[in-house]
Structure 1
Amino acid sequence: MARILMITGDFVEDYENMVPFQALIAMGHEVDAVCPGKVAGDTIATSIHDFEGDQTYTEKRGHNFTLNANFSSVSADDYDALYLPGGRAPEYLRLDNEVIALVQTFVSSGKPVAAICHGVQVLTAAEVIEGKNISAYPACEPEVRLAGGKYQSLSMDQAITDGQFVTAPAWPAHPAMLRQLHVLLQ
């Protein structure tokens, strides 16, 4: 099975972090969850984003999530794929030069890269989606377009694959996104 790197951080969307982490492990894959500035055993705070009929999602404090690997020692060479969850963490993760370099290495090596919701903000900052069909939370559409991507407006439970990229708008798309990522990993 595959070895997958998850780059995450404080106030990541709870479901987009926990559900794929557990589901990929249940499928037999190995998943290392890392965060810049933190080590294995440290925790990150998560947020729960919900759709309750307002013009945008609501946010509540989620669970603590324990990291199982050290960001400082990861290398794209050691992994088969990359997963980027959403929430607020991508806002600051995209400012980290080491995160950007790592993402660029995954992309240039042709390895599968999955991003959900605001996770696409890391891809746009890395300037790796030009010409690609990319979905994300609708508020990220301008960023996708500015980075040269072709934004795909999908239902919240859908995902899209374009080459090595699997992207989706939000956590209701987990079944579709994980199924498409699993195909790329075979």
Structure 2
Amino acid sequence: MHHVSQSGKRVAVVLAPNFEDIEATDPISALNDAGAETTIIGMKKGEIAGKKGAVLTATETFDSADPADYDLLLIPGGGSPENLRIDDKAVAFTKTFTESGKPVAAICHGAQLLISAEVVSGRTLTAVDKIRDDIKNAGGNYVDEALVVDGNFITSRVPGDLPVFNESIVKAISNR
């Protein structure tokens, strides 16, 4: 059973072990404060540990989650995206969601999941500097800016970019 948020907006947060704590907790707080309902989707249900000790709980899995049920996809960074990118169902969920045209927000290493979903070709985005070559090799246009919005893509680089990233995702979901 899902409770409906005040705004009726639902956000899918895709998460795996070793996520960058603040890149998950900070945007989730901002979205919840804006009245959205956030659902953590994992490879299995239950607790997921971040790099620095945060623990978040996945209440849905990629087996059961339907991209059509959500208004925005949030992909936190850290070690989470490299765990998700080797999960076929996580990749399929991301690809289907992205192709729907609804907003997709990725920070730091989050773009790794977009690369594996084969959706970055011809798109302009940013990410942590270490994966800039991966973006270019996948046909994407990497730019080193705090916030890049290209169509339905909202991307940022590092935790220091969270204020503008959070503001942008709250705005994106408010406009839907």
Which consecutive residues of structure 1, in runs of 5 or more, have no partner in the other structure?
48-60
CA distance in 1 between counterparts of 2:170 and 2:54 reads 26
Which consecutive residues of structure 2, in runs of 5 or more, have no partner in the other structure?
1-6
State the TM-score, normalized to the length of structure 2. 0.90
Query: Could you tell me how far 1:63 is from its partner in structure 2?
Result: 2.0
Please name the residue that 2:170 is paired with: 182
Report whether the alignment pairs 1:28 with 2:35: yes
Report whether the alignment pairs 1:117 with 2:108: yes
| Runs of 4+ with >4 A deviation | none
Residues paired across the two proteins, number: 167
CA distance in 2 between counterparts of 1:127 and 1:20 reads 25
CA distance in 1 between counterparts of 2:88 and 2:62 reads 13
Please name the residue that 2:142 is paired with: 151
State the TM-score, normalized to the length of structure 1. 0.86
Please name the residue that 1:77 is paired with: 68
Amino acid in the other structure paired with 1:112:
P
**Cα deviations across residues 10-36 of structure 1 (Å, max 9, x unaligned)?**
100000111111221111001101111
Report whether the alignment pairs 1:68 with 2:78: no
Amino acid in the other structure paired with 1:181:
I
CA distance in 2 between counterparts of 1:71 and 1:108 reads 17
Query: Could you tell me how far 1:150 is from its partner in structure 2?
Result: 0.4
Amino acid in the other structure paired with 1:11:
N
Please name the residue that 1:54 is paired with: none
Amino acid in the other structure paired with 2:129:
P
Report whether the alignment pairs 1:105 with 2:112: no
Please name the residue that 1:15 is paired with: 22
